[in-house]
Chains A and B, each alone.
Chain A
Amino acid sequence: MNPSIKTHGFKIINSNEINELNNLKRYITNFLSNKFKLNNKDPDDVLNNIHNYANLITDRQANDLVLETLKELSDKFDFSEIVYQSFGEEIRNLLGPDLHAQKNNNIVFQSPNSNRYSELHSDAPPNSEFELVVWVPLVNCYGTKSFFMVPLEDSFDLIKKYKSKNFSNWNEFKSKALEKANHFEINYSQALIFWTGMIHGSLENKTNESRWCLNVRYKNLFAPCGQHDPLTYYRIFRKSVVTDLALSKKW
């Protein structure tokens, strides 16, 4: 059975339109090519091998490069809009026509052998339990370059046991979670969409390629916002006709 949000808490989906995502990928590639004076402008080659081209030795250098890239993109691209253009049908089906989107653009980067992998965690809380995460790789991801997710029932079971102090230490909990985890192969033009209550993470990237992905969050406009402040964390992304009428009430 193919995983679904209802049965597994996650799903891999294919894009229905990829032009804007292609534009973003090309723009990042050109920015990096110019910055590091590369003759090669093949997006997959530049992104996958940026740790070599940029001679990234430390995590600090990698982080600075990502921050600089985000700054370059900030007033030119809206990741929530791009991801919605590519994967919007599924998001709309799951959350409805009234949507909040995360305010800030967010890139997750992991170079080979970096210690900056994402430790096992679930996003909610502090994030809203009414929120979906759309994880969009800009390069093909496989093995330790990718991402893992513990299916819904296993996530519930592990969190329950963790709270009941059934594990003597973090490593015991983590190895049980990894036994249950699904490790994904996701290609560019696909996305992993998942519910914020899921246990997930990434491993140390043992491949010889860098991972670049976008991370965008949506929730229904009227749903609780978890522990985040609605004004600083989200922005109104889509409004239905009825919501427009209700908000503009003049009587």
Chain B
Amino acid sequence: MVEEAYVLLDATRSTPQIIQHQIIRNFADECDLKISFYGAEFRGCESAHMQLKQYVEEKKINNFLLYSIYQFYDSSNGFDIDFLEYILLKEKNIFFAAEKISVKNLEILENLKNELKIAHINLKNRNS
């Protein structure tokens, strides 16, 4: 069944917006998601996820499709796993198009956690 999804683009535009749109549309099709809204966090305040938090709290929509899981990444602290957990505890699904990741329950997140922790170690090692 096709479900509605809100999209939050990567506001840093490290990937051009036109490419983000293509990748997001393709992944939405794969996941049977119909995009009903496009937005982006305020530039410079991305990591606070204020808009996303608001939409999650409003409970109008169950699916959030982001361009990349690196929208939850900070080079010092790694991936914001707590925020992902918070979204799931609100009974919402979150999708990341560039990495083709769908997180629909805590069990999936539990498996993803290790991948995210290892990826952070790899990325830190890359620069050392």
Contacts and interface: CB of A to CB of B under 8 A. Distances in A.
Interface string A175-193: 0000000000000000000
A189 B55 CA distance: 56
B99 A230 contact: no
Contacts of A247: 113-114, 117-118
Contacts, number: 41
Contact of B125 (A222, A232, A236, A239): A222
Contacts of A235: 115
B115 A236 contact: yes
B122 interface: yes
A3 interface: no
Chain B interface SS verdict (over half): helix
B98 interface: yes
B126 A231 contact: no
Given A231-B99, A232-B98, A232-B99, A224 B126 contact: yes
Most chain A CB inside 10 Å of its own CB: which residue of B113, B118, B123: B118
Contact of A230 (B100, B101, B122, B128): B122
Given A231-B69, A231-B99, A232-B98, A222 B118 contact: yes
Contacts of A100: 118, 122
Interface residues of B, number: 18
Given A231-B69, A232-B98, A222 B122 contact: yes
A58 to B, nearest CB: 27
B125 A224 contact: yes
A223 B125 contact: yes
Interface in A211-251: 221-226, 229-232, 235-236, 239, 247
B114 A236 contact: yes
A226 B98 CA distance: 19
A168 B128 CA distance: 35
Given A222-B125, A225-B126, A230 B118 contact: yes
Interface string B86-103: 000000000000111100
Contacts of B118: 100, 221-222, 230, 236, 247
Contact of B119 (A223, A226, A230, A239): A230
Interface of B: 69, 98-101, 113-119, 121-123, 125-126, 128
28 contacts: A100-B118, A100-B122, A221-B118, A222-B118, A222-B121, A222-B122, A222-B125, A223-B122, A223-B125, A224-B126, A224-B128, A225-B122, A225-B126, A226-B126, A229-B99, A229-B119, A230-B119, A231-B69, A231-B99, A231-B101, A231-B116, A231-B119, A232-B98, A235-B115, A236-B115, A247-B113, A247-B114, A247-B118
Interface of A: 100, 221-226, 229-232, 235-236, 239, 247
The 5 closest A-B pairs by CB, nearest first: A230-B119, A230-B122, A224-B125, A224-B126, A225-B122
